[in-house]
Structure 1
Amino acid sequence: MRLTLLSFASLFISCFIMMLGNGLINILLPVRMGMDQLGTDTIGMVLSLYFVGMLLGGIYARLLIRRAGHIRMFAGCLALAAVSILICSLASDPILWAAMRILIGFCNACAYTAMESWLSESSTKETRGKVLAFYQVVTLVALFCGQFLINLASPAGTVLFVLSGILLCASIVPIVLSRSSGPTVEEIEPMSLLALYRISPLGVVSCFVSGWIYSAAFNMLPVFADSYGIIDFQLSLYMGAAIMGAFLLQFPVGYLSDRFDRRTVLLASLIISTLVGFSVTLLADESLFWPMSVATGITCGIIACTYPLSISETFDKLRQSEMVAGMGCLILAFSLGGIVGPYSTSLVMEQFGNSSLFWFLGVLQLLLCIFVVYRMFAREALPADQQEKFVMQAAAVPPVVDLDPRTEYQEPDSPLSAEAELAAAVADTDPAAAIRMAKAIAINSPEQVAEIAGAIAAIEGVDGLRLHEAMIEAVPDQASEITSAIVSANPELASDLVAQVADAEPEQVAEVAAQIGTDNPELRVEMAAAAIGADPESAVEVAEFYAGVLAEEHEAVRPADREEDTTEQTAVELVSSISELAPEQAMDVAVTMVEAIPDTASQVVEEYVGNLSETQSDEEIEELIKASDTINTPEEAVQERNQEAVEFVSRISEAVPEQAMDVAVAVVEAIPEVATQVAEEYAGNLSECQSDEAIEELIDTIDTINTPEEAVQELNQEAVEFVSRISEAVPEQAMDVAVAVVEAIPEVASELIDELNERSDSDEIDMMMKLEDRPDSDQ
């Protein structure tokens, strides 16, 4: 990780110097306008226009990057921002400053986009979260330090304007002198605000209000402080407290939001912020500077936290494929709030006095609280363990869309090596020569085998099968990498390539098929079939591999993505395909998949039992008798299949005990004649669960069971429910099933008699007569 951060050293240095200048500008402009006796509403209007520029910059930044490149666009925009702040030093004209404020906002937005897309493109899936965190720390520390630069000279002069321009120009130097040329960027298409509002009303509204109150608080705070005589170094401390609060409070708020209902955390935070904000004015009236600074840090810190909370709340409702587009829409909502914030607040402060800042912010937060409560009643809360993780976001800069670890990671296209480019160029004119060259390179440079194979296979006219054969012959120990690379270029060759591996390196077939299936999820079923077709003995091994892969993917599926999740369907298709190719291993395959993904139990059972039921047709029975040496009659064939069904119930129930009853009922519905055997097996398991050790374990695992008596009662109720469900499935065998259960668990006899008595008046007599055969019956 240290090496990753060091590779971004020039970018982080540029970012720090740039934000140092912006920190100075953010405090200098309102202070200077106040010294020039401009009205509060005029100050608010000028400061609001910064967000107009930010919004325009967010729209056009990527277009400028694609036209000019990261470095030139970054350098040009910061040079223009430096010119803008220097122009502000020429005349204290509100109209001139308003125009320059728009320009600075535009330039900053473009610079942020350049830095953030650069960080995103150069980070990996594992490091991007840490890179984002470090970037946010650099940003906030620089903003904090920038507040104190206002003490170097009088705001009434031009020195601080010149210093700001110098810092913005100086921030260009580290990036311009770096060796990197910067990555390319893709356009982000945001969804409409209305579409996002329909998905997450609270996310959009809270993001808009967040932009409103954040821009109002941090832009109008110097004006508020000035009305209480807080100037010079005290002003730097006061503004620094607000920025420090925005940094520090993200840690406890983020911790709480990941462990409790996020809306509850947002509601509680807003209430605390409002109450503490009201106290700021009271403390200011008493001239208590330090308590006032602490209170300001708390309320401004919570205000800053509403932004990342809004993003997390929205992400809870979005599919992962929608996150990038949704983030673009949230930036728009926040920017619109930022445009409204300073000006609307300045109007209130003009009307009621500068001391009304925190009263107005409190009213806005209370209005958001009302909407939060409304949404809490309108939609059920998402379980805390299924919520998206809170990610720190500095509201001072736009969120880093591609660097956010919650968004879907897109592997950047790595440039081809010189050897791969040469091989591709040769293949374009002489495919046969390219294959010979690839074979030679593979022998001399095995580490480049996969890249070269993929580059050549992507060229139209190249015989992929011939290329594959030649390269495997050259480096047989890399069959998996070679095959996967060629399949990525030509997916339609997958089965043929695996067949070639089976002929040349049969011991690698399972590994090759697994690698291809991992790299190309849409080919998993096909690859499993190809591997087992070449090596039937590998059926369970292939099933175990894919079960593990699918289980990880299924576990990682977010609630919003469940409608599009196909892992369960793929798992069932794999079980069906593998079982058809290796029927003697079908049960092991089914159990393996269900153990890995318990949610597939019902579908796998339905598929497996359906196949068992079909094997009891006359044609299948005749084929079974011919194929088996131990089965000679149709009755023996049926008995064999029934025993297999009972064993299947036992094994699946052991794998997923919480679904044991559903499995048993499904099997009995498909093969009614096994009802009694299944009942005996199921009741036997329940009886074993009533041992002292099993009851203690049950008490430890189930919160609603506290005593052995309650545990036994729970098990007995399960036995009665089991008989009831089996009786509904096969009513003609209800009596035999009940007797089998009572033989294992005598305590439930009276309840079962009552249950069956409701179905038929004669059932009680029949059952009692059957129970008379049990010498130990005391019921």
Structure 2
Amino acid sequence: MRSTIVSLLSLFISCFILMLGNGLINILLPVRMQLELMSTDTIGLVLSLYFVGMLAGSVISKSLISRAGHIRMFAGSIALAAVSILVCSLYADPVLWGAMRILIGFCNACAYTAMESWLNGASTKDTRGKILAFYNAVILGATFAGQFLINIASPTEAILFVLSGIILCLAVIPMSWSRHRGPEVTETVSMSIVALFRRSPLGVVACFTSGIVYAAVFNLIPLFASHYGIEGFDLSIYVGSATLGAFLLQFPVGYLSDRFDRRSVLLMALLLSSAVGFSIQLLADLEMFVAMSVATAISAGIIACTYPLSISETFDKLKQSEMVSAMGSLILAFSIGGMIGPYSISLLMGLFGSQTLYYQVGVVQLILAAFVVLRMRIRPALPAEDQENFVMQSGAVPASVELDPRIEYTEATMPLSPEVRTAVEIAESDPGTAVRMAKTMVQAKPEQGVDIVAEVAKVEGVDPLRLYESMLDVVPDQILEITSAMVKATPELGYELVRKLAESNPDDVVAVAAEIGRISPELRVDMARVAVESAPESALEVAEYYAQVMGDEYGAVRPADREDDTSDQAAAELVSQLSELAPEQTLDVASAIVEAVPDSAATVAAEVASNLYERQADLSDSGPETAETAITESSAESEMIANTGDESWQQDAVDLVTRLAEVAPKQAIDIGVAVVEAQPDVAVAVATEYASTISDRQSELAEADSETSVQDQGYTETIGVSDDNPEKNSVAAEAAELVSRLSDAVPEQGVDIGVAVAEALPEAAVAVATGYANALSERQSDDENDSEAVNIEIQAEWETSVDNQGDGTEQTARLEVAQEAAELVSRLADAMPEQAVDIGAAVVDALPESASDVVEALEGSDQVQSSDLVSDLDKNKRQD
């Protein structure tokens, strides 16, 4: 990071000098206009026009950079800004000054765009946030220092105007002498402000309002100070306190906004700022200058924080791919507010006096606070951990889109060097000789070999694979960098290129493939495949590397992007490819991926289950000789898939569920259901093994964090769990949910599943019976709803016959449900006769229509006969 700052030192010096001049101009103009006895509303109008130029410059600046380049555009803009301020020294005319104010705003916007684009070209994904923070610190520090330059001479003289022009001209020199090249500028399409308002009403309104109050306070504060006779060095101190507050307050406000509901923080900040602002006039009347300056720093600091808070609030509601286009509309909203603020507030100050500045601003803040309360009532709060991070932004300059670390990172495209441009032109004119030409040029300029090869590979008609082979001979020491560059240039050939690397540099292929997959997620599966093909023993290593990468990516997925997130499919595809190439490491690979991306557990489990079954089926179809060969070739693989019997496959499925449940315990049931849905014939085996691990897993979860227990209070109530032991409740609830979910997946094995789980967990037998009965009841309701929907679609002339048929179908379905419930009760009663009464009662409570069948199923049980259950059920049956 330090080396990056040092390399950009000339740019930061130019930025500091530019803002030093702007700091002087921002305080000089309102003071001089007041000395010229211009009316308050005229002063406000002239100052508002700055944002008109700022908005125009932000729209046109990128096209100017594309035409003239960064340095020339920056130099031309600053020279024109110097001319405009020097013109202001000639005539104190509000119309002239208004025109020059527009010009200064335009020039500054162009200069800011040039600097920020340059910074973006020099930053990386990891450093751009720090560079943005340093950039904002330079801006605010220079603005603060520039306000003290007004004490060099009297504002009534032309000296300060000339000094401002000199400072602006000096800002051109460091950047003009720099050897760095700025990146190519790309145009972006802005999201409609109406569309943005629909997505985040509060963000847009807060951004617009922040433009009003920010521009009003930081432009009209000299008029307020003049009313109380604050001038000279005291004026610089007072105005500087507002700028200092704008810098310092961003740290605590940002800290709070990242840890609490951002809207609540914004509401409290607005109320505090307005309350403190209302006190400033009282402190000024009491001539308490220090207290007045501190209060101004607090109020102005919060006002400055409203802008970055509004950006963060808006980003909370957007997909990451929408942030860049939304930023243009946010800048527009802020600029419109900036145009309105100084003039509208100056009109009120003309009516009620300059001392009422903070009263007017406070009222605007209270209106925004009321809107915040309204939005808090309409839309629930986003969890604090899901909110976008607060990023320091200065209202003095347009938000830097490229440098904002919340924006999806796109590597800046740098202009081609003369040598690379020549190579591309030759390749375009004669693709047949492009490889020989590139080979010659790289031999002559090896330091530009990577750039030359990457650009020539993009030319239509050039054979990238042949070009790559030639580079293996010419610059073998750069082949790793060339491989990465060529894969980025021709991603469709990524697999073939890395395969060729594997032939020449087998020791490096795993590292290169892993790094390419990290940078380009769309190539991740291909890179994993080529890495494991060249080094099969590296399958787990590759899986663990990508698991860490995917885990980091998954953790960074924003709430608004979750509907488009495909992490589970990507994880399953990666596991599928690796397990195909290294089947003996399938479970290890799957466990590593699921541990990093827990929400992919079910998808990965289903994919692995299908692959294991297909592989076993292939071995079985190929006959015992092939299976024997498989055993001979790989003893590890034989343990998993060589035995083609049903027992082996069931054990594989059980092992899969057990391993994945260990690394993703919260998704344990989803894992079991996914495996059973993929291969229904393993349902009972999976249920039995899973049930045997429930108690241990619940104990571990309870010890780790009581809130992570699988027990769900609402669910335990539905299955009748009322034991005072929380852990026992959790075990029973999970067992019941397991039976319910698995019986839904394979209803034909539902009773077997229920009995298997109850035998593994006798203490959960009643909960299992209740859960199964509830599942039967829900299934019956779904069938009845489906039947009713079908009947509605039948033509009118068949209505009577279809209704009768529907009634018969419905009665048949109910009879089957009752019989299935009775079968469950009968089998559970045989397995656990001491709980037969409770089991029967639980099922009848959940499915009253099964009472007769349950009675018949239990009539042979001595324990049931000795209880009142049968007589009670018979009595209910006769009443029915």
**TM-score when scaled to structure 2?**
0.80
Are 2:126 and 1:132 aligned? no
The aligned residue for residue 770 of structure 1 is 831
> Alpha carbons of 1:217 and 1:638: their partners in 2 closer, same or farther (altered >3 Å)?
same
Are 2:736 and 1:720 aligned? yes
d(CA) in 1 for partners of 2:566, 2:237: 55
d(CA) in 2 for partners of 1:635, 1:537: 23
**Within 5 A, what are the aligned runs for 1:140-151?**
140-151=140-151
The aligned residue for residue 103 of structure 2 is 103
How big is the shift at 1:386?
2.1
| Higher alpha-carbon deviation: 214-223 or 602-611 | 602-611
**Within 5 A, what are the aligned runs for 1:226-375?**
226-375=226-375
- Asked if structure 1 preserves the Cα contact closer than 8 Å seen for 2:263 and 2:372, the reply is yes
Are 2:690 and 1:682 aligned? yes
> Alpha carbons of 1:182 and 1:601: their partners in 2 closer, same or farther (altered >3 Å)?
closer
| Higher alpha-carbon deviation: 9-18 or 477-486 | 477-486
Are 2:655 and 1:647 aligned? yes
Structure 1 unaligned segments of length 5 or more: list them. none
d(CA) in 2 for partners of 1:42, 1:690: 73
> Alpha carbons of 1:266 and 1:609: their partners in 2 closer, same or farther (altered >3 Å)?
same
Residue aligned with 1:108, SS: helix
- Asked if structure 1 preserves the Cα contact closer than 8 Å seen for 2:320 and 2:407, the reply is yes
Letter in 2 for 1:716: A
d(CA) in 2 for partners of 1:739, 1:186: 65
The aligned residue for residue 637 of structure 1 is 645
How big is the shift at 1:501?
4.6
Deviations 1:325-373, CA, capped at 9 Å, x for gaps: 2222211111100110011111111122222211111111111111111
d(CA) in 2 for partners of 1:151, 1:690: 73
Q: Which residue of the other structure, out of 743, 764, 769, is the alignment partner of 1:748? A: 764
The aligned residue for residue 198 of structure 1 is 198
How big is the shift at 1:39?
1.7
Residue aligned with 1:408, SS: coil
Letter in 2 for 1:14: S
- Asked if structure 2 preserves the Cα contact closer than 8 Å seen for 1:244 and 1:297, the reply is yes
Are 2:676 and 1:668 aligned? yes
Identity across matched positions, percent = 57
d(CA) in 2 for partners of 1:418, 1:53: 36
Q: Which residue of the other structure, out of 695, 698, 703, is the alignment partner of 1:696? A: 703
The aligned residue for residue 175 of structure 1 is 175
Deviations 1:365-404, CA, capped at 9 Å, x for gaps: 1111111112222222222222221111111122222222
d(CA) in 2 for partners of 1:8, 1:511: 32
Letter in 2 for 1:362: G
d(CA) in 1 for partners of 2:585, 2:199: 46
d(CA) in 1 for partners of 2:174, 2:191: 36
Deviations 1:590-613, CA, capped at 9 Å, x for gaps: 333322221111212222334456
Tell which has more relative contact order, 1 or 2 (C-alpha 8 A, sep 6+). Answer: 1
> Alpha carbons of 1:109 and 1:754: their partners in 2 closer, same or farther (altered >3 Å)?
closer
Deviations 1:715-744, CA, capped at 9 Å, x for gaps: 232223223333444455445444443444
- Asked if structure 1 preserves the Cα contact closer than 8 Å seen for 2:207 and 2:333, the reply is yes
How big is the shift at 1:467?
3.2
The aligned residue for residue 607 of structure 1 is 607
> Alpha carbons of 1:266 and 1:588: their partners in 2 closer, same or farther (altered >3 Å)?
same
Letter in 1 for 2:21: G
d(CA) in 1 for partners of 2:402, 2:427: 35
- Asked if structure 2 preserves the Cα contact closer than 8 Å seen for 1:57 and 1:109, the reply is yes
> Alpha carbons of 1:698 and 1:204: their partners in 2 closer, same or farther (altered >3 Å)?
closer
Deviations 1:723-776, CA, capped at 9 Å, x for gaps: 3333444455445444443444333234345556776346444323223699xx
Letter in 1 for 2:296: T
d(CA) in 1 for partners of 2:710, 2:672: 26
Deviations 1:537-572, CA, capped at 9 Å, x for gaps: 554444444333333322222223333333332222
d(CA) in 2 for partners of 1:182, 1:518: 27
Deviations 1:199-238, CA, capped at 9 Å, x for gaps: 2211111111000011111112111222222222222221
**Within 5 A, what are the aligned runs for 1:401-412?**
401-412=401-412
Residue aligned with 1:258, SS: helix
How big is the shift at 1:304?
0.7
- Asked if structure 2 preserves the Cα contact closer than 8 Å seen for 1:699 and 1:711, the reply is no
| Higher alpha-carbon deviation: 212-221 or 484-493 | 484-493
How big is the shift at 1:298?
0.8
Are 2:720 and 1:659 aligned? no
d(CA) in 2 for partners of 1:609, 1:130: 46
Deviations 1:571-595, CA, capped at 9 Å, x for gaps: 2223334445555554444333322
How big is the shift at 1:627?
2.8
d(CA) in 1 for partners of 2:748, 2:276: 72
The aligned residue for residue 388 of structure 1 is 388
Deviations 1:595-653, CA, capped at 9 Å, x for gaps: 22211112122223344566787x8743364532389xx99622221221111111111
> Alpha carbons of 1:586 and 1:354: their partners in 2 closer, same or farther (altered >3 Å)?
same
d(CA) in 2 for partners of 1:318, 1:12: 32
> Alpha carbons of 1:765 and 1:9: their partners in 2 closer, same or farther (altered >3 Å)?
closer
Residue aligned with 1:628, SS: helix
Residue aligned with 2:765, SS: helix
d(CA) in 1 for partners of 2:411, 2:530: 28
The aligned residue for residue 119 of structure 1 is 119
| Higher alpha-carbon deviation: 403-412 or 537-546 | 537-546
d(CA) in 2 for partners of 1:733, 1:22: 78
> Alpha carbons of 1:457 and 1:608: their partners in 2 closer, same or farther (altered >3 Å)?
same
**Within 5 A, what are the aligned runs for 1:422-441?**
435=435
> Alpha carbons of 1:158 and 1:720: their partners in 2 closer, same or farther (altered >3 Å)?
same
RMSD of Structure 2 on Structure 1 (CA): 3.6
**Within 5 A, what are the aligned runs for 1:560-579?**
560-579=560-579
Letter in 2 for 1:261: D
d(CA) in 2 for partners of 1:624, 1:445: 61
- Asked if structure 2 preserves the Cα contact closer than 8 Å seen for 1:696 and 1:708, the reply is no
Deviations 1:258-280, CA, capped at 9 Å, x for gaps: 11111111111001011111111
| Higher alpha-carbon deviation: 540-549 or 191-200 | 540-549
Aligned residues: 773
Structure 2 unaligned segments of length 5 or more: list them. 632-637, 714-722, 775-817, 836-862, 864-880
- Asked if structure 1 preserves the Cα contact closer than 8 Å seen for 2:197 and 2:204, the reply is yes
Deviations 1:108-134, CA, capped at 9 Å, x for gaps: 222222222222223333332222222
The aligned residue for residue 35 of structure 2 is 35
How big is the shift at 1:663?
1.5
| Higher alpha-carbon deviation: 405-414 or 271-280 | 405-414
> Alpha carbons of 1:599 and 1:446: their partners in 2 closer, same or farther (altered >3 Å)?
farther
How big is the shift at 1:712?
3.3
> Alpha carbons of 1:680 and 1:450: their partners in 2 closer, same or farther (altered >3 Å)?
same
Letter in 2 for 1:372: V
- Asked if structure 2 preserves the Cα contact closer than 8 Å seen for 1:439 and 1:470, the reply is yes
How big is the shift at 1:483?
3.8
